[in-house]
Amino acid sequence: MEASIRAQFGDDVLEEALSRWGIERKAVRELDGFESFVYDCGERELMVRISHSLRRTSAQIGAEIDWIGFLAANDVTACTAVPSERGELVEVLGTGDEYFTAVVFEKAPGAPVATGEWGPPVFERMGRMMGRMHALAKQYVPAHPSFVRYQWYEDITGTAERFLPSNERAVIDRFNALLTKTHELPIDDDTYGLVHLDFHRGNFFVHGDEIWLFDFDDCQHTWFADDIAIALFYAVPHDCSSAGDREFARSFMGHFLEGYAAENDLNRAWLSRIPMFLARREMDLYIVIHRSLDLDNLDPWGAGFMRERREKIESEVPYVDIDFGSL
């Protein structure tokens, strides 16, 4: 989250958001939202998300809610939005060019996937759910013309120059060169559409045999292979270099793609482009950490990711060094 957004947020914004749904302040508990302010409402089984217009406009959030509703109406177990007391799915807090928005979502049933359950059956279910969403993306028509999510490049163009130190020119140049290369990829309805783009074990619960997906804040228009790459990116260790780590990556992808193929047909030639999408997420995350976090006080996950990351990016070390063409 940008510092300017955090500086504008206060108890008055939170209280106003909660009042729109009749939620008491004492009933909520703040969670670790990275780009938004997120609260658990406890016994009411609801989640409150407050975002700033600098990150997402009210129309973009309306598009997100519309997309989730379409998926849920077509048998995707995704957590939908709950209307406010005025019947609004998105409440705008404030006036003018900059403002906050609030959305309340149903809380996912179940629990995070346990360490002992993190294996082939879950990987296959993840792939099946993503395949189902990609198949539906080919059919989706927004309910309102204003419900437009952004294209993959709109959120990241110019961020390297803005947030990285000037002495990291090599990283800046590599990131921008990769954006140029990505722009050259072909686009058609069978390979490109509206996707989640943050599908990892922190963003879904397991309930019986079902995965319940949430946090669609990053949903955008990009290639389906990009969405697959993100699932792999967060499934493997930051330093996916040992023989065991590479074998895990192959196993994850094998089971994931088996489930995916049951719901959607994607030309497997696109798998060869996954390393490009992995590299883009690697550099994007590197930039975001510089933007939002104290590099001298990172949590273990962030510290693990940043360890020798600049050197790896500059040396073009593959994030996952496996043969995607053989999957």
pLDDT one-digit tens code per residue, 94-143: 887 899 999 999 999 999 999 999 999 999 999 999 999 999 999 999 99
Compute the chain's Rg from CA coordinates: 20
283 vs 181: CA distance, rounded Å: 14
- Are residues 120 and 89 located together in one domain of the fold? no
- Are residues 101 and 134 located together in one domain of the fold? no
End position of a domain, from candidates 78, 106, 134: 106
Number of folded domains that form the chain = 2
276 vs 204: CA distance, rounded Å: 25
The answer to whether residues 207 and 114 touch, using CB atoms and an 8 Å cutoff, is no
Rounded to an integer, the average pLDDT of 166-175 is 97
- Are residues 59 and 139 located together in one domain of the fold? no
12 vs 218: CA distance, rounded Å: 26
CATH code (residue 26): 3.30.200.20
The per-residue pLDDT for range 264-289, each reduced to its tens digit, is 999 999 999 999 999 999 999 999 99
**Residues spanned by the domain of 50:** 3-106
Q: What is the pTM of this model?
A: 0.94
| Cα–Cα nearest to 2, from 50, 31, 34, 30 | 34
- Are residues 10 and 101 located together in one domain of the fold? yes
End position of a domain, from candidates 62, 79, 106: 106
The per-residue pLDDT for range 39-63, each reduced to its tens digit, is 999 878 999 999 999 889 999 999 9
- Are residues 43 and 164 located together in one domain of the fold? no
- Are residues 151 and 294 located together in one domain of the fold? yes
The predicted pLDDT at position 35 comes to 79
The answer to whether residues 324 and 277 touch, using CB atoms and an 8 Å cutoff, is no
